[in-house]
DNA sequence: CTAATGATGCACT
DNA sequence: GTGCATCATTAGC
């Protein structure tokens, strides 16, 4: 791998050489990618500047056999089409008529996998301030700001205009950078939220979040530690 | 604290 | 027409 970080003194604003997320992660099945996305940095660029936050809660929606997935059975429609593109693509859909949900497409082209980003944590007070402004609320508590897929999209001003774009392009509207490593013991594994229609897939522990992180949307009753296989 | 409810628009049978 | 991978608000402990 060519991992040279050239200190390119660009005349534009200085982009500190941060490492992009390893492209290997995008090629994994969603179930493997979901826990690995915890702790990674999500960067949103708008006309107002950049917002940086850390992913603290994810859910796996992987493969055509997952009854909880929009692409169950290989359903290929206008909405699900981007799920079939290669890993690293952004999948965004509108839910309940008023909220957007952000997903990271993973695995290979033609194999529909996605990881729902359910909660993020602003990296700095400045990031939190901009997110509060986009939410149109005064900051009260962490999970109230960006704990939940709809809330985080509002807080980062994410909508369907980003659908189909890539996450591996720094300086684009939205991209991912490598965060600090996360200890496996700090990861909780729990059933996914609000998919009663998924039958035998409803209770599978395909949600992952950082233990004791206040930005997480819903704490599970039994906080089972994440088990590596 | 928990539970119920309405908002709201679009994808899809 | 039906049903959402949600959230804020309200009502009831």
Residue-wise pLDDT for A65-76, tens only, equals 999 999 999 999
Q: What angle do CA A58, A55, A128 make, to 5 degrees?
A: 130
Asked if strand C comes closer than 7 Å to A70 Cβ, the answer is: yes
Nucleotide nearest to A73 (CA to C1'): B12
Protein residue at shortest CA distance from C1' of B6: A96
Please state the rounded mean pLDDT for residues A154-165: 98
Please state the rounded mean pLDDT for residues A215-226: 94
Q: Specify if A37 maps to a domain.
A: yes
Phi-psi region of A55 (alpha: psi -120 to 50; beta: other; left: phi over 0): beta
Q: Specify if A11 maps to a domain.
A: no
Report the b/e string of A86-98 with b at 16+ CB within 10 A: ebbbbbbbeeeee
- Average of per-residue pLDDT values in chain A: 93
Beta strands in chain A (DSSP E): 41-46, 49-62, 90-95, 99-105, 113-122, 174-177, 187-190, 207-210, 224-225
Nucleotide nearest to A78 (CA to C1'): B11
Q: Tens of pLDDT along A65-108?
A: 999 999 999 999 999 999 999 999 999 999 999 999 999 999 99
- Our count of domains for chain A comes to 1
Whether the pLDDT of residue A4 is over 60: the answer is no
Q: Tens of pLDDT along A24-56?
A: 999 999 999 999 999 999 999 999 999 999 999
Q: How many angstroms separate the CA atoms of A210 and A220, rounded?
A: 11
Asked if strand B comes closer than 7 Å to A140 Cβ, the answer is: no
pLDDT band at A5 (very low <50, low <70, confident <90, very high): very low
Asked if strand B comes closer than 7 Å to A19 Cβ, the answer is: no
Please state the rounded mean pLDDT for residues A133-150: 96
Token representation of residue A158: 């994410």
Please state the rounded mean pLDDT for residues A151-168: 98
How far does the CA of A75 sit from the C1' of C10, in Å? 39
Which pLDDT does position A18 carry in this prediction?
79
Asked if strand B comes closer than 7 Å to A95 Cβ, the answer is: yes
Asked if strand C comes closer than 7 Å to A217 Cβ, the answer is: yes
Q: Specify if A16 maps to a domain.
A: no
Q: Specify if A221 maps to a domain.
A: no
Q: Specify if A3 maps to a domain.
A: no
Q: How many angstroms separate the CA atoms of A37 and A178, rounded?
A: 9
Whether the pLDDT of residue A183 is over 60: the answer is yes
Q: Specify if A223 maps to a domain.
A: no
Domain of residue A193, residue span: 23-179+186-214
| DSSP track, A153-214 | HHHTT--GGGTT-BSS-TTSSEEEE------GGGEEEEPPSS-GGGGGGSSS--EEEETT-T
Please state the rounded mean pLDDT for residues A16-20: 77
Evaluate whether A67 touches A213 at the Cβ level (below 8 Å). Answer: no
What CATH number has the domain bearing residue A30? Answer: 3.10.300.10
Q: Specify if A13 maps to a domain.
A: no
Nucleotide nearest to A94 (CA to C1'): B10
């Amino acid at each position: 791998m060519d991992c040279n970080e050239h200190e390119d003194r660009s005349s534009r604003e200085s982009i500190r050489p941060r490492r992009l997320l390893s492209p290997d992660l995008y090629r994994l099945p969603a179930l493997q990618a979901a826990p690995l996305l915890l702790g990674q940095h999500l960067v949103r660029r708008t006309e107002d500047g950049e917002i940086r936050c850390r992913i603290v809660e994810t859910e796996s929606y992987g493969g055509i056999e997952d009854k909880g997935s929009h692409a169950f059975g290989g359903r290929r429609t206008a909405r699900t089409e981007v799920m079939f593109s290669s890993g690293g693509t952004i999948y965004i859909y509108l839910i309940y008529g008023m909220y957007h949900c952000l997903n990271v497409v993973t695995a290979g082209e033609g194999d529909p996998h996605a990881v729902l980003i359910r909660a993020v944590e602003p990296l700095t007070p400045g990031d939190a301030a901009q997110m509060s402004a986009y939410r149109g609320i005064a900051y009260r508590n962490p999970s109230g700001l960006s704990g939940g897929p709809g809330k985080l999209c509002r807080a980062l001003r994410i909508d369907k205009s980003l659908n189909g774009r890539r996450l591996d392009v720094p300086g684009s509207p939205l991209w991912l950078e490598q965060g600090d490593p996360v200890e496996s013991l700090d990861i909780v594994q729990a059933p996914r939220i609000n998919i009663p229609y998924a039958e035998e897939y409803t209770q599978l522990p395909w949600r992952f979040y950082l233990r004791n992180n206040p930005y997480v949307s819903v704490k599970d009753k039994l906080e089972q530690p994440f088990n590596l296989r």
